[in-house]
Amino acid sequence: MDDLRIRAAGPGDLDAVLAFWKVAAEGTSISDDRAGVERLVGRDPEALILAERRGELVGTVIAGFDGWRCHLYRLAVHPGHRRRGVGSALLAAAEERFVRLGGRRGDAMVLDRNELAHHTWRAAGYAPEPQWSRWVKHLVG
């Protein structure tokens, strides 16, 4: 894993990230467009964390902190690079960021149907809280 580089995304990475999510991420979001990702990186330049191997984008995670809670989104690893520590390295970087910012608990958005992801999150020490449900309202059409 010595060849794995973890870094924050910059404005020049956004098109590559959006293309990467089409290959590596499960599901889509209303925010999966250039304007949405630009807002994220513009508001919090360290929130979108990338993993690269030999200059190739192999993983992402969004580590958002609102000043009260730590939220994880878009943990995605390229199918050809899974089970090689990329996800673990991304989560470690996200958790280090949260601790640095004063965060005390991380939560993750994980699709119920994504069994592969469930194994990854459990291995990293996360667990579902079945007493909670996600309630959503789209604010734009």
Average pLDDT over residues 30-34: 86
d(CA 86, CA 78): 9
Give 133 or 14, the one with higher predicted confidence. Answer: 14
Radius of gyration of the chain (CA): 15
pTM (two decimals): 0.93
Instruction: Report pLDDT digits (tens) over 38-70.
Output: 999 999 999 999 999 999 999 999 999 999 999
d(CA 120, CA 122): 6
Average pLDDT over residues 12-23: 96
**Residues with Cβ < 8 Å from 51, sequence gap 6 or more?**
4, 5, 6, 57, 58, 59, 60, 77, 86, 89, 90
Torsion of CA 58, 64, 70, 138, to 10 degrees: -110
Give the Å distances, CA to CA, from 47 to 22, 86, 93, 111, 127: 20, 17, 10, 21, 22
